[in-house]
C-alpha cells in the first residue's frame, strides 16, 4: 500500500530542490509575510508577486498543475470568510449589482484577500513539494523550533501511513463481512475501529520506546548535522530578497 500525499515530488532534482531547507523556509515564509502584511495592493503588484512565485514553480520542475490544484483547496474557506467584504462600503467609484452597491476599494480588498490567501498556500505548497519532510524538519529545528516539536512531527510522519494502512485494512475486512449495513450500525462500527486503531497505536508506541531504549536512547534524540549552506544558497538569497522587496520601491 502506497501513500504519497504529504511531500510528493519532493525527491525530484531541480535548483530549488537542491537548496538548503533553511534557505527555502526563510525565503518562502518571508514571501508569505510580505504579501500578507502589505496594504491592499493594486492588481499589477499582485500580478508581480504571482509571476514571481510562478517562475519559482517553473524553476522547481514540480508539475505546475499539481501545485495549482492543491493550492485552490483554500479558496472555498477564504471565499466564505471574504464573501461579505465587497459590500462593506468605502470610497471610490461604485458599481451596482442589482440591489447592492459595490465600491471600487471594497472590491479591491476582496480581491486582495482571496489572491493573497491563494499565493500564501501556493508558496507553502512549493516549499513542501521541493523539500523532503525530514529535511524540512531538520531545517525548522536548526532555525530554532524546539526539538520536542520536530521529534513529534517526525514520528507522526513515520507512523501516519502505518496507521492509515491499519485503518484501511480494518475497513476492508468490515466491507468483506458486512456490506449491507444501516447508517447507525456503520457509525458504531467506525467508532470501534477508531478505538482499536488507538489501542494498537498505543501498544506500538510502547514497543517503539523499547526499541529506542535498546539502542541507547535516554531521553534526548541525537541527530547528525547534515545541513550545509553553499554558494547557490547565497546566490538564491541575494536574488530572492531584492525581488521580493522590489514592489515596495516601485511607483
DSSP 3-state assignment of 124? helix
The residue range among 104-112, 113-121, 180-188, 204-212 that interacts with other proteins, by the rule CB under 8 A, is 204-212
CB-CB contact of 107 with 91 (8 Å): no
Instruction: Establish how many alpha carbons lie within 13 A of residue 234's alpha carbon, considering only the half-sphere containing its beta carbon.
Output: 4
Smaller CB separation from other proteins, 18 or 72: 18
Find, among 51, 13, 56, the residue nearest to 236 by Cα.
56
The residue range among 40-48, 170-178, 210-218, 240-248 that interacts with other proteins, by the rule CB under 8 A, is 210-218
CB-CB contact of 193 with 174 (8 Å): yes
Tell me how far, at minimum, the Cβ of 80 lies from other proteins, in Å.
35
Find, among 28, 38, 121, the residue nearest to 77 by Cα.
121
161 binds other proteins (CB under 8 A): yes
C-alpha 216/C-alpha 221 separation (Å) is 10
Q: How many CB atoms lie within 10 A of CB 146?
A: 10
The residue range among 25-33, 51-59, 213-221, 230-238 that interacts with other proteins, by the rule CB under 8 A, is 213-221
Restricted to residues 8-27, the positions that interact with other proteins (CB under 8 A) are 11
- Interface map 105-144 toward other proteins (x if CB under 8 A): ---------------------------xxx--x-------
- Interface map 162-201 toward other proteins (x if CB under 8 A): x---------------------------------------
* Main-chain phi, psi angles of 140, to 5 degrees: -60, -40
- For helices 43-60 and 231-249, give the axis angle rounded to 10 degrees: 170
Q: How many CB atoms lie within 10 A of CB 141?
A: 20
CB-CB contact of 86 with 107 (8 Å): yes
Tell me how far, at minimum, the Cβ of 144 lies from other proteins, in Å.
20
Tell me how far, at minimum, the Cβ of 226 lies from other proteins, in Å.
9
Selected from 101, 104, 158, 188, the binder of other proteins by CB under 8 A is 158
148 binds other proteins (CB under 8 A): no
Smaller CB separation from other proteins, 45 or 204: 204
Query: Under the rule (CB under 8 A), what is the footprint of other proteins?
Result: 2-3, 11, 132-134, 137, 154-155, 157-158, 161-162, 204, 207-208, 210-218, 222-225
Amino acid at each position: 500500500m502506497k501513500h504519497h500525499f504529504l511531500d510528493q515530488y519532493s525527491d525530484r532534482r531541480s535548483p530549488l530542490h537542491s537548496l538548503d531547507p533553511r534557505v527555502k523556509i526563510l525565503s518562502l515564509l518571508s514571501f508569505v509575510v510580505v504579501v500578507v502584511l502589505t496594504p491592499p495592493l493594486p492588481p499589477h503588484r499582485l500580478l508581480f508577486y504571482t509571476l514571481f512565485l510562478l517562475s519559482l514553480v517553473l524553476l522547481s520542475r514540480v508539475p505546475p498543475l499539481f501545485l495549482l490544484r492543491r493550492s485552490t483547496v483554500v479558496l472555498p474557506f477564504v471565499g466564505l470568510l471574504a464573501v461579505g467584504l465587497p459590500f462593506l462600503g468605502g470610497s471610490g467609484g461604485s458599481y451596482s449589482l442589482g440591489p447592492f452597491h459595490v465600491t471600487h476599494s471594497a472590491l479591491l480588498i476582496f480581491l486582495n484577500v482571496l489572491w493573497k490567501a491563494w499565493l500564501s498556500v501556493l508558496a507553502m505548497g512549493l516549499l513542501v513539494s521541493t523539500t523532503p519532510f525530514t529535511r524540512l524538519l531538520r531545517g525548522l529545528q536548526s532555525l530554532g523550533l524546539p526539538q520536542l516539536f520536530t521529534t513529534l512531527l517526525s514520528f507522526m510522519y513515520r507512523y501516519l501511513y502505518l496507521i492509515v494502512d491499519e485503518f484501511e485494512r480494518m475497513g476492508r475486512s468490515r466491507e468483506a463481512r458486512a456490506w449491507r449495513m444501516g447508517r447507525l450500525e456503520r457509525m458504531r462500527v467506525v467508532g470501534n475501529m477508531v478505538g482499536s486503531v488507538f489501542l494498537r497505536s498505543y501498544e506500538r508506541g510502547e514497543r517503539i520506546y523499547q526499541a529506542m531504549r535498546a539502542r541507547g536512547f535516554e531521553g534526548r534524540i541525537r541527530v547528525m548535522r547534515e545541513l550545509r549552506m553553499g554558494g547557490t544558497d547565497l546566490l538564491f538569497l541575494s536574488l530572492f530578497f531584492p525581488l521580493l522587496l522590489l514592489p515596495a520601491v516601485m511607483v
